[in-house]
Chain A
Amino acid sequence: MRFMMMVIPEGYGSAAPDAAPSAEAVARMMQFNKSLQKAGVLLALDGLFPPSTGARISYRDGKPTVTDGPFAETKEVIGGYWIIQVRSREEAIEWAKRAPMSNTEVIEVRQIHEMSDFPEDVQKAAEGFEHLNR
């Protein structure tokens, strides 16, 4: 089963567009990444630019409205993520516990839906998905 571990850093919602982690923080993180890789559980990982460089698109009756970041009203935003393949929810939590996080960071662990988890009609509706993925 696959899980996404999302990093939610406090204050990242209002961080400057060029905000970057310190070299020490990155070095610690690389060590953790390496341990995931050596255990054979790491499938993917990425870090995200702060929301101040992003945009939010909201929808009212199907009509999209674009708001540029930062988003003052939003408390929790994602700073980056890992996708890991593990054998249980507990194992995903154990890995998250080993991440080198500071007092102001939170990791949220969520299981990734596999296609086979969906009911048949949903699977049917997802036909042709391959073309989106290419």
Chain B
Amino acid sequence: MRMSDVHKTIDAVWKIESTRLIAAIARVTHDIGIAEELAQDALVTALDVWPEAGIPDNPGAWLMTAAKRRAIDSLRRGRMLLRKHEEVARELEWQQQRLGDALERALDEVIDDDVLRLIFTACHPVLAVEGRIALTLRLIGGLTTSEIARAFLVPEKTLGQRIARAKKTLSEAHVPFETPSGEELRFRVESVLMVVYLIFNEGYTATSGDEWMRAGLSEEALRLGRMLGQLLPGESEAHALVALMELQASRNAARRGKSGEAVLLPDQDRSLWDHAQIQRGMTALERAQGLGGGAKPYALQAAIAACHMRARTAEETDWDRVVVLYGALLQVNPSPIVALNRAVAVGMVQGPAAGLDALDAATTLAGDSALAGYHLFPSVRGDLLMKLGRLSEAREEIQRAIAMTKNLREQELLANRLKQLEKAAAG
């Protein structure tokens, strides 16, 4: 069904206004679930009234007034609205007056802090990661349940339940609607950034489903990242994450070949990279480094991406610097994947034999974790062995890699490599 123009406009108004609306109401209700219900009620009223009466001049204020009326109505009908408000008075009249005033004030005041509280609450560690993602897209992205479900390739009902469960968890855990401070802040910022980056990657690695919607997730993550950069201007990792996402997304047009196959970084047509976006990424990275956060995880990853983006050709890449940066990243994030990437870079700088040594270290780090079954380990090993002329060993490794991946496109890439190997062995 095609949405009529006025519905499309209302949807756009909602995407612009809903976050601040929900955040302002949540300041008064102290419960983001209730805040969202009231905001949704206001939206339903708008959908009813605006197609006839036209879009109001100040749709944000209109929605707030509508939400306020709904809040007072439901209070009158005895729905316990201010479940968590400590200062709730007994008399209904007084409550109504107070609620109305408080909502009025909430809208008038500067509410950036409310938006920040909303983000921190939606990304609260008490929630399962998938719940944080869904709630963030719903409350801060202004996406509908159906839009989120389509993007994540799950049934709408499942996603609705996921959101309901998350709201219930927050309510039951009595998660306060506040900005954390001190040591807690650092930890909570990490959770927010992780959620944003997961949303980005969900879109970035899209290989199936409603591709447009999924690519939209990357753009939405970028928007959320820029928002965070504004709300937490002193937080270097917020800017670093924006840098990392801008730099990765700038390669989008070059990441797929003509028949939709994946094109890896060294083989990409660099003229297809979005240079305005690269510039934005570089600016955000400089900002993160200027704040003294150059050695933090997102900043290091962005700096590595920047090394690739600065090179006119894959051969011109400053691999020495890439090795140094991966080494530093390994210090703060000792993950087998980081070690694997470092091994690739070492192979480029010091030759395939040194690369193999570094890869052994990465493999040891992976141990018998789930990552030991990650196809890139044998795939990289196969490449290094091939460069060393140990062709039969190389072939075995590539065959192992093919067996380990379920991704058809990856299998194709590897099968091509196997063909090259056989050609080399024959010649």
Contacts and interface: CB of A to CB of B under 8 A. Distances in A.
Interface of B is mostly: helix
Contact of A40 (B12, B223, B273): B223
A126 B227 contact: no
B16 A88 contact: no
A95 B16 contact: yes
A93 interface: yes
Interface residues of B, number: 34
A91 B143 CA distance: 13
A36 B272 CA distance: 28
B225 interface: yes
B15 interface: yes
B272 A115 contact: yes
A52 interface: no
A134 B316 CA distance: 16
A88 B227 contact: no
A16 B225 CA distance: 41
A38 interface: yes
B112 A94 contact: no
A88 B258 contact: no
Contact of B280 (A40, A41, A43, A114): A43
Contacts of B225: 40
Interface in A28-66: 37-44
B12 A39 contact: no
Nearest to B269: A127
A130 interface: yes
A133 B282 CA distance: 14
Contacts of A91: 12, 15-16
16 contacts: A37-B226, A40-B223, A40-B226, A40-B227, A40-B230, A85-B219, A87-B12, A88-B11, A90-B12, A94-B9, A115-B274, A116-B252, A123-B272, A129-B275, A130-B275, A133-B275
